[in-house]
Structure 1
Amino acid sequence: MRVLGGLERGAVLDSPSWVATLLRQPWVMPLFRIGLVSAYLIGGVTKLLHFDAAVAEQVHAGLHPGWLWAALAIFVEIAGSLCIIFNRFTWLGAGGPAALTVVAMLVANSFWRLEGVARFIALNNFFEHLGLIAAFVMVTYLASGERRSRV
């Protein structure tokens, strides 16, 4: 498969010319990688600056010991985000936040235990998180394609 600027050639060729031109710009993929991890990066830094609140958040979600889960979340959110932003060890950088997101989905968005409006909100959050996990898979795929195209 030939990769062009991190995107499969067919994907670019199947797009209108203005879309293909935009996607070929060197700043596009870095910008979208930053966008993808922005909530994780900001969340990790905020947890680091307010560690007591991060511990309380983990305990509230039923994760014990809270300090360990908070420290793990901080490391995964910051280190994983930086791996994705700098496009290095992307598979690892994406895997960490994806795994953390799975835990969050199962612990904080367990819609199957709720009813009414709470179920509706948790169901939406669950599938929004599932979309983020899919985006982490896609960014890993694109990064591996970029490396293959340079060889």
Structure 2
Amino acid sequence: MSSPKPIAALLRQPAFGVFARAVLTLPYWASGIAKLTDLPDALAEAGHFGLKLAGFVVAATILVQLGGSLLLILGRLSWLAAGALATFTALATVIAHPFWTVEDPMARFHATNTFLEHIGLIGGFMLAAALVERERAGR
């Protein structure tokens, strides 16, 4: 069953795609802005996770979060933006949400859900890049 005509018309609007990509990237550009405006806290966060070269890690994180989000929202180099955000998400998820190390069953349940939610974001980036490519191809 296809979408009702008003919904289908909305989904075809270019502004809807821009809005959807802004919503998808919200956690990333919000985090990038927070890190940029509070570098000491961002460096402390990197240190908390035992990351070496914290300054480099924070700079790269801000670049990927803000640059990737902006490119994806604008539909420019979407394959690169989505790939960068997906790779960042995969690495950050393994570092920050290692559910397999959590002993308490309830805490493991919550950590597993958080891990899987982040994997879902990676799928969202894949879809966003595919949809931008289809828009560009005129489908």
TM-score, normalization: structure 1? 0.86
Give the Cα–Cα distance (whole angstroms) in 1 for the partners of residues 41 and 93 of structure 2: 20
Q: Which moved more, 1:76-85 or 1:62-71?
A: 62-71
1:121 to 95, 110, 118: 110
The answer to whether structure 1 residue 142 and structure 2 residue 131 are counterparts is yes
Percent of aligned positions that are identical? 40
Aligned length: 138
Give the Cα–Cα distance (whole angstroms) in 2 for the partners of residues 130 and 78 of structure 1: 20
2:15 to 27, 30, 44: 27
Give the Cα–Cα distance (whole angstroms) in 2 for the partners of residues 63 and 121 of structure 1: 24
1:77 to 59, 65, 77: 65
1:20-99, aligned counterparts within 5 Å? 20-99=8-87
TM-score, normalization: structure 2? 0.93
Structure 1: segments with no counterpart, 5+ residues: 1-12
State the one-letter code of the partner of 2:51. L
Greater helix fraction, Structure 1 or Structure 2: 2
Root mean square deviation of aligned Cα:
1.4
Structure 2: segments with no counterpart, 5+ residues: none
Q: Which has the higher contact order (CA 8 A, sep 6+)?
A: 1
